[in-house]
Amino acid sequence: MSTSESPPSATSILFARGVIARLAIWATLRIAMQENWGGPHGPAKRTWLASSVVDSFENQITNPPDDIYIEELLLQIMADEFDTIVDDDSTEMVARDIVKLWEETQAGKVELVIRFEELAEKTSGKRVSVQEKVVSDDENGEWEDDEMAEDTDEEEEVPQLLNRTESSTTPKESLIDQDGFTLVQSKKRR
């Protein structure tokens, strides 16, 4: 028994190339791949992610999905397949880019696909720098360490520890002058 499927159209291939390239430059997915969050089948999961996105458009050509649907799809797959909760709003941008890719490839435009492929080529093989930061969730007291950044130029200032010889174990009584300012006292006792 043979199945006779027609080969994909040139437009479908172009769109798929654009989706693969756009996902290849998505820092969150790159980090998930780099850190092996998808397990040993991470590359297959990334390919499946791209095909799921492409299929969602191909199956609904007359009424293609919008960016909100694609964003939810990306969030769901990242959570299920890569154990990653994405909360940096990057999925929103990726989803908008994918919807724009669909619109442009349907109109026969290739510029956006080429641009994403060039960016994917530049980032290929390069590691994404990850900065871990502990964040408190005040509502339920849970802790997360999922803040990530890609090659940031800004360095966060690290809090300095107090030198125990400089700080006193007993609190000092503050002196307040007539204008209401606290007077700084010398460490030496007089």
DSSP 93-149: HHHHHHHHHHHHHHTT--HHHHHHHHHHHHHTTPPPP-----EEETTTTEEE-----
Q: Tell me what pLDDT residue 150 has.
A: 45
Task: State the chain's mean pLDDT as an integer.
Answer: 79
Give the angle 168-170-172 at the CA atoms, nearest 5°.
85
- Which run of H or of E encompasses 117? helix 111-123
Q: How confident is the model at residue 9 (pLDDT cuts 50, 70, 90)?
A: confident
- Is the pLDDT reported for residue 122 higher than 60? yes
Q: Tell me what pLDDT residue 48 has.
A: 95
Q: How confident is the model at residue 188 (pLDDT cuts 50, 70, 90)?
A: low
Q: Tell me what pLDDT residue 46 has.
A: 93
- Is the pLDDT reported for residue 101 higher than 50? yes
Averaged pLDDT, 99-112: 95
Q: Tell me what pLDDT residue 148 has.
A: 44
Q: How confident is the model at residue 184 (pLDDT cuts 50, 70, 90)?
A: confident
Q: How confident is the model at residue 134 (pLDDT cuts 50, 70, 90)?
A: very low
- Is the pLDDT reported for residue 66 higher than 80? yes
Say if residue 51 is exposed, middle or buried (CB neighbours under 10 Å; 0-12, 13-18, 19+). Answer: middle
Averaged pLDDT, 102-118: 95
Q: How confident is the model at residue 137 (pLDDT cuts 50, 70, 90)?
A: very low
Mutual angle of helices 27-34 and 67-82, in 10-degree steps? 10
pLDDT, tens digit (0-9, with 9 covering 90-100), for 149-167: 444 444 556 555 555 444 4
- Is the pLDDT reported for residue 79 higher than 70? yes
Instruction: Choose among 7, 9, 49: nearest CA to 30.
Output: 49
State whether residue 189 is helix, strand or coil.
coil
